[in-house]
Amino acid sequence: MALLFLFMPHFLIGLFTHDPDVIAKGCIFLRLVAFAQVPLALSFVYAGSLRGTGDTHYVFLVTLAAMWGIRVFLSYVAVVWLHLSLPVVWGIFLLDWLFRAAAFAWRYRQRDLHQIVL
C-alpha cells in the first residue's frame, strides 16, 4: 500500500472525487501516509506481540507517551504557537509512529520470550 500511496495517489483519490483541488491536496497527504505505512505496521505487530506475552503495561505507557507527548503536544505547538500547516501535523503523526515502532521493537528484542508461561 505504501508504494500505491506514494506513486499512484492521483488514481486512488480519483476513485472518490473528480475535483482537481481535492485531488491535488489529497495527494500530498496520501504521500505522507505512504511513509507511515511501515512504522505503523511494525508498531501494530510489535505491540500485539508484547501484549500477547503479557507486557501490556509497557505498551500502554509507550502509547500514552507517544499520543500525548508527541502527537498531541507537538501538533499543538506546530499549529497554535508556530502556525504551521496541516502537512507538518501529519509529519508529526509520522514521528509518533516511528517512535512507537522503535520503542516496541527495542522492548521486544530485550525480552526473553522463552521464559514466558501463559
The per-residue pLDDT of the chain, averaged, comes to 93
Q: What is the pLDDT of residues 94-104, one digit of tens each?
A: 999 999 999 99
Q: What is the pLDDT of residues 19-42, one digit of tens each?
A: 999 999 999 999 989 999 999 999
Q: Is there a domain that residue 46 lies in?
A: yes
Q: Is there a domain that residue 16 lies in?
A: no
Q: Is there a domain that residue 7 lies in?
A: no
57 is in which domain, residue-wise? 36-115
Residue 45 to residue 37: CA distance in whole angstroms: 12
Q: Is there a domain that residue 8 lies in?
A: no
**Cα–Cα nearest to 43, from 79, 87, 97:** 97
Where would I find the H helices in 15-72? 20-52, 56-64
Q: Is there a domain that residue 1 lies in?
A: no
Q: Is there a domain that residue 20 lies in?
A: no
By the 8 A CB rule, do 27 and 15 touch? no
Please tell me the predicted confidence (pLDDT) of residue 42: 96
For residue 3, give the H/E element and its range: helix 2-7
Q: Is there a domain that residue 26 lies in?
A: no
By the 8 A CB rule, do 47 and 104 touch? yes
User: What's the total number of domains in the chain?
Assistant: 1
Q: Is there a domain that residue 110 lies in?
A: yes
The beta strands (E) that lie in 11-112 are given as: none
